[in-house]
Amino acid sequence: MNRIMRTWLWVLFVFLSFSMGRAQGDRKICVIPKPQNVVMGGGEFVWNARTEWHTNLKGKEKILLDRYLQMLPYRLAKGKVKADANIVRLTLESLPNTTNPEAYLLQVTPKEIEVKANTGAGLFYGLQTLFQLGGGINSAELNIPCVTISDEPRFVHRGYMLDVSRHFFPKEFILKMLDVLAYYKINVFHFHLVDTGGWRIEISRYPKLTEMTAYRPAADLDEWRRRKNVFCTKEVEGAYGGYYTKDDIREIVAYAAARHITVIPEIDMPGHSREVLWAYPEYACKGKNASNSNELCIGQEETFTFCKNVLKEVMELFPSAYIHIGGDEANRNIWKECDRCKKRMAEEHIDGVPGLQNYFTNSIERFLAAHGKTLIGWDEILDGDVSPRAVVMSWREEVDGGGEALRRGHRVIQSPTSHCYLDYFQDNPYFEPQGLLGYTPLKQTYGFEPLPEGDFDKSLVLGVQGNLWTEHVLDTDRAEYMTFPRMLAVAEVGWTNPALKSYPDFRERVLKALDYLRAREIHPFNLSTEIGPRPEAEKPVCSLAKGKKVTYLKPYNREFAASGETTLTDGWLGNWNSNGARWQGFGGDMDVVIDLEQPTELHAVKASFIQILTGGQYIPEKLEISISDDGKNYRSLYEHTYETDNKRLYEIYLFGWVGKSKARYIRFHATRAISWGNILSDEIIVK
């Protein structure tokens, strides 16, 4: 056998060994997120009372590691290794094939476990993988399979956002969540501190923010809105809320840092600022609608001074390189009515109120940059020539926020409502706690791909984030239920290469992970009892209207465009969610004409409508169906007024006509029950 042949046989042997080991590893280990490379070995490491922890870390990093281990409880050994000890080594050294600061190499042999990494963060993540191999390592003696894992994350940002403005969560809960997030290698905690529902952070220069708006007279947001969104002081009987002191914030930030989690604060501006204007009305616009405004007045310099002073104190508390300023959903119409805002636009040669917000955003961006910080904003900050330094958090699929930001050279964090909003229903809404708008099951979150198609610098996509908005999340149990296990999907999307992902495999690992979460007194959604998608949406509909042209006498709402003009006759019903590709919305009446192309015998004309009160989606009050032979002269086929139930949170209704007739054209006209909101339908079925 010549030398070249021996070399190739050796390469083949190594490849087959790796492949077999990899496959065996995938069967035997349960780690989330899934590591990039796994090779199983033979034998086991016996974890017992003689196990010693050793590290070459020094200084502060060593102290932090020791404190963390003592909480588990373990501790670093002092002195030399005992002769009969089995060892866990945590070794800081340069890995040969990667410079990724979060990469690690984990090697388990019968005598020793060693984690190697380029940085302390890498060692920490290798440690989390080791703990998962041991099922959390909460037993006196465990057998850990021999394995070699080389691993690193796909993206630098793997985040979780918690909205504490609409509902306040105690500091102890935040710390508990940080522990669990770190276990699954989440490295960013987005702290949504202020947003209409209550001001949650102590600001020394403006004490009335917490004195006057950290509490409200009703916990339930709907009840609070019925009470005109008034705030109250802590002393009022029944006061609900709270805030984090500066010491609380420092403790949270330090606790997160010890787990290699960066805390990014969000101070929402210039919209979502009702708390500010309640405490300090001088920063509001002047005008007839100013009393109901959530928007800061951009026309006065005092507003900028206020914002910058608040941000100065925020920056002192949060060492993060990023500060999130929101920038979303501002009702810009109020600025049209404000003389000071109009004067600002004239003086600065600003064309329209979107430009006025852009002026505000760029001013705050320059201020943050001067203090060494980078601005993050929701994708509305793209409504103008925003500084390329700004990072865009993309949430709106309908406006292609992520794609537009990337085309303009911005760094982007992907957080679309379709996959990453954790306040949406995760199973059949008829059996789920109250949620918002739509249906986002674990499988859908897991299927998200953060890199959109297109020619752009892939490094601009920083990563992915799951967001828990808390309009309908009143307590910690509900927060845990809505967060888990979907955040585990976000963790794997952000860490694992797509080629290694498999939903059946992931689901199996999640089912095992649920036991760990419950042991940590986390209350997750029970995946084992999942009902799944709406059955009617899983197969095409038999309809004479399928593929036929639809003429819109009144336009559909572009925010609920679904698949455009083919939606109502494409042969598919919608799922449980209204935010998908099959439910089409109408901000006014739904009024369409279907051309069946030839006179057709009719026995039924029906359509489904979805009602989700939390999303402002209502069933129609009245339905009129008329038919025509020539498309000009119509005769009534069906007319009915429905009794609407504005207390029923969620429902899918099927309305329409059954009988016998003949026509070519069908006009389907549904009238909205109230003056606002949307009518949503998925398909007009003709039999």
Residues catalogued as catalytic: 195, 272, 329
Judge residue 434's burial from the number of C-beta atoms within 10 Å of its C-beta, 0-12 exposed, 13-18 middle, 19 or more buried.
middle
Integer Cα distance of 380 and 383 in angstroms: 6
User: Per this entry, what is the length of the chain?
Assistant: 687
Integer Cα distance of 115 and 105 in angstroms: 6
Q: Nearest 5 degrees, angle CA 251-CA 257-CA 263?
A: 80
Q: Give CA separation, 194 vs 88, 226, 268, 319, in Å.
A: 44, 21, 6, 19
Integer Cα distance of 126 and 149 in angstroms: 9
Q: Nearest 5 degrees, angle CA 484-CA 486-CA 489?
A: 125
| Of 298, 285, 296, 276, nearest in space to 203 by CA | 276
Integer Cα distance of 199 and 219 in angstroms: 14
Backbone angles phi, psi at 613, to 5 degrees: -60, -35
Kindly state the helix (H) or strand (E) to which residue 281 belongs, with its residue range.
Answer: none
Integer Cα distance of 399 and 420 in angstroms: 16
Q: State in Å, rounded, how far the first CA of the chain is from the last one.
A: 75
Q: 590 in the Ramachandran plot: left (φ > 0), alpha (ψ -120 to 50) or beta?
A: beta
| Of 134, 135, 154, nearest in space to 144 by CA | 134
Q: Nearest 5 degrees, angle CA 309-CA 312-CA 313?
A: 95
Residues 6+ apart with CB under 8 A from 236: 215, 217
Mutual angle of helices 246-257 and 171-183, in 10-degree steps: 10
Q: Decide: 650 and 640 in contact? Cβ < 8 Å.
A: no
